[in-house]
Structure 1
Amino acid sequence: MARTLQIHPVDPQPRLVGQVVDALRGGGVIAYPTDSGYALGCTLDNKAGLDRIRAIRQLGDTHHFTLMCRDFAQLGQFVIVDNRAFRLVKSATPGPYTFILRGTKEVPRRMLHPKKHTVGARIPDHRITQTILADLGEPLVSSTLILPGEELPMTSGWEVAEHLGHLLDAVVDADVDDAAPTTVVDLTSGTPEVLREGAGDPSRF
């Protein structure tokens, strides 16, 4: 059963953030708040965790997982960003956008799209998420917590714990205001293609 941790949205308690990071480093899967609803997360090397997220969300092999990155420098280690993509990503982050880009050799093959070798990447504008990422020191493998049959992500920590606590190791309890998922933009072809309209303004692309 998941441990529920109530973390302050403005001034996250280091001790509780440390417990979240310990759960991640111990092979756990967490649910945590972002600037576009709740998400599921695990570490890059956690193959079993990735499989657990797939099972919870009932995802197929071609689903684009997202690397939740602390900043642009970290993002650039894991995805290939040309000059045009650099300007677009830089101008829209941090914020509720997910960019589809080709992964570098730092990304485990199991995370990449099997044919395109692409992965999602984003930099969140959320204090708790940023604090977890800073303490962890690496990106989180992430997927928006949209349950099968639903269109919007979950936004309440207690609700996540009630419905999914038996499938998770930790739930960060801090409600989020925006229930819209991220706007997803594919930058692999040279011309931006909006794949999903969400919380981020798609008109800039």
Structure 2
Amino acid sequence: MAKYFDVHPDNPQPRAIAQIVGVLRDDGLIAYPTDSCYALGCRVGNASGIDRIREVRNLGGGHHFTLVCRDFAQLGQLVQINNAVFRTVKAATPGGYTFILPATREVPRRLLHPKKKTVGVRIPEHAVTQAILAELGEPLLSSTLLLPDEEEPLTQGWEIKERLDHAVDAVIDSGECGTVPTTVVDLSEGTPEVLRVGAGDPARFA
């Protein structure tokens, strides 16, 4: 049965954040709010957590997972960025974008796109997510909480708790956070290619 945390969206309670991070450090899987929509998250090194995300979402082997980072310094340790890409990503973060970039050796092989050796990275603009990342001290491995055969992600904490009670270890409820996932931009070849239009304005990459 999943633990349920009612966390203030603007001023997250430190005790609740510490307990959530405790679940993550115990190799737990959480459902948490972001600035685009709810996501499933676990520690990057949590192999069973990755398998559980695949199971919940019924994902194939070619799915791009996202590494959710606290800041640009953390993001820069995970992906290879030249000066032009640096300026592009820096100008759009934090915010509702996921960037596909070549991964560094810091990223486990099982998280990479099997052919391109790329990974998705993002920096969210959400107080609760940022508080979790700050307390954890490392990125979160994440995937949008979109269930198989459903068109929109789940947005209500109580509903997520009800439907995924035995599939996740904790549900963080900070009120609704929308149904629109991030805008995904592939920068792995240098020239921006918008793969999915979502929460972030794609016009800046046209």
Q: How far apart in 2 are the matches of 1:168 and 1:142? A: 13
Asked if the contact 1:178/1:199 (under 8 Å) is kept, the reply is no
Match of 2:90 in 1: 90
Aligned counterparts, 1:103-114, within 5 A: 103-114=103-114
Match of 2:58 in 1: 58
- Identity rate of aligned residues, in percent? 64
Deviation at 1:178, TM superposition (A): 2.3
Deviation at 1:190, TM superposition (A): 1.3
Q: How high is the TM-score relative to the length of structure 1? A: 0.98
Q: What are the Cα deviations for residues 78-99 of structure 1, in whole angstroms up to 9, with x where unaligned?
A: 1111111111110100000000
Asked if the contact 2:183/2:197 (under 8 Å) is kept, the reply is yes
SS in 1 for 2:77: helix
CA 1:117–1:150 in structure 2 vs 1: closer, same or farther (change >3 Å)?
same
Aligned counterparts, 1:159-174, within 5 A: 159-174=159-174
Q: What are the Cα deviations for residues 85-133 of structure 1, in whole angstroms up to 9, with x where unaligned?
A: 1111101000000000011111011111111111100000000000000
Q: How far apart in 1 are the matches of 2:33 and 2:91? A: 23
Q: What are the Cα deviations for residues 155-178 of structure 1, in whole angstroms up to 9, with x where unaligned?
A: 111111011111110000112342
Q: In the alignment, does 2:152 pair up with 1:152? A: yes
Q: How high is the TM-score relative to the length of structure 2? A: 0.98
Match of 2:198 in 1: 198
Q: CA RMSD in A?
A: 0.7
Match of 2:131 in 1: 131
Q: How far apart in 1 are the matches of 2:87 and 2:64? A: 22
Q: In the alignment, does 2:182 pair up with 1:182? A: yes
Asked if the contact 1:100/1:119 (under 8 Å) is kept, the reply is yes
Aligned counterparts, 1:20-99, within 5 A: 20-99=20-99
Asked if the contact 2:184/2:195 (under 8 Å) is kept, the reply is yes
SS in 2 for 1:175: coil
Gaps of 5+ in 2: none
SS in 1 for 2:38: strand
Q: How far apart in 1 are the matches of 2:116 and 2:55? A: 23
Asked if the contact 2:38/2:177 (under 8 Å) is kept, the reply is no
Q: How far apart in 1 are the matches of 2:103 and 2:2? A: 31
Q: How far apart in 2 are the matches of 1:94 and 1:21? A: 21
Size of the aligned set, in residue pairs, is 205
Deviation at 1:182, TM superposition (A): 0.3
Q: How far apart in 1 are the matches of 2:125 and 2:165? A: 26
